[in-house]
Amino acid sequence: MTEATRAAIDDIIDAFRCGDHARLADRYDDDIEWQLHAPISVFPFAGIRRGKNAVLASLLGVYRDFQIAGYDIALIMVDGDRAATISDVRVIQRSTGRVIVSHLASFHRFRDGKLIEYRGFSDTFDTAGQALGRELDDWVPQERSISPWMPKPDRG
């Protein structure tokens, strides 16, 4: 099963890089449950999606808002019907031209060679700040920003 999972995750990564929507659709189970842990107020395509059509609509939202400029896999792991990856993502926000870089952790589960479950994480405090073009630390009360053993971050 592990080798079939490895082939499936390799194919999904390649299809995503190529923007091959049809191939991605073919790899998604009709009953897929997909969740990108990120604020939908900043990233409308995030949150929970159930079913292939809802997930593909969400992915179209990604492509609508961002141009994928880089998607490099830093780590890929496969175990039985599951795969996990860390990817270095670089996108260009179409409305502003801002370049946003992030590390994305992804957890996949496959059934009969098709993706049935997905969970994605990134450091959303950082990525939301990049998307908004603001330093979100400015929204954090100062008394919470001081730790007894770490210097206050230098914001230049």
Partner 1 sequence: MPLQPTELASQNTAQTRTALANLLGAFTGGDRERLAACYDDDVDWLFLAPASVFPFAGTRRGKAEVFRGFEVLFQSYRITEYYVEAMLVDGDWASTYSVGQMLQLATQRTIRIRTGNFYRFRDGKVAEYRGFTDSLDIVEQVLGRELDF
Q: Using CB under 8 A as the criterion, which residues of the chain lie in contact with partner 1 when the complex forms? A: 37-39, 42, 75, 77-80, 82-84, 86, 103, 105, 107, 109, 119, 121-126, 128, 132, 134, 136-137, 139-141, 144-145, 147-150, 152-153
> What is the C-alpha separation between 45 and 8, in angstroms, rounded?
23
Phi/psi at 64 (5° precision): -65, -40
> What is the C-alpha separation between 65 and 84, in angstroms, rounded?
25
Q: Which is nearer to partner 1, 72 or 137 (CB)?
A: 137
CA 93 to chain centre: 15
- Are the C-beta atoms of 25 and 31 separated by less than 8 Å? no
Residue 124 CB, nearest distance to partner 1 (Å)?
Answer: 4
Residue 43 CB, nearest distance to partner 1 (Å)?
Answer: 10
Residue 22 CB, nearest distance to partner 1 (Å)?
Answer: 28
Secondary structure (DSSP) of 25-57: HHHEEEEEEEEEES-TTT-TT-EEEESHHHHHH
Q: Which is nearer to partner 1, 19 or 80 (CB)?
A: 80
Q: Which is nearer to partner 1, 24 or 106 (CB)?
A: 106
Residue 151 CB, nearest distance to partner 1 (Å)?
Answer: 10
Q: Which is nearer to partner 1, 112 or 143 (CB)?
A: 143
Q: Which is nearer to partner 1, 22 or 41 (CB)?
A: 41
- Are the C-beta atoms of 63 and 19 separated by less than 8 Å? yes
Residue 100 CB, nearest distance to partner 1 (Å)?
Answer: 14
> What is the C-alpha separation between 152 and 156, in angstroms, rounded?
12
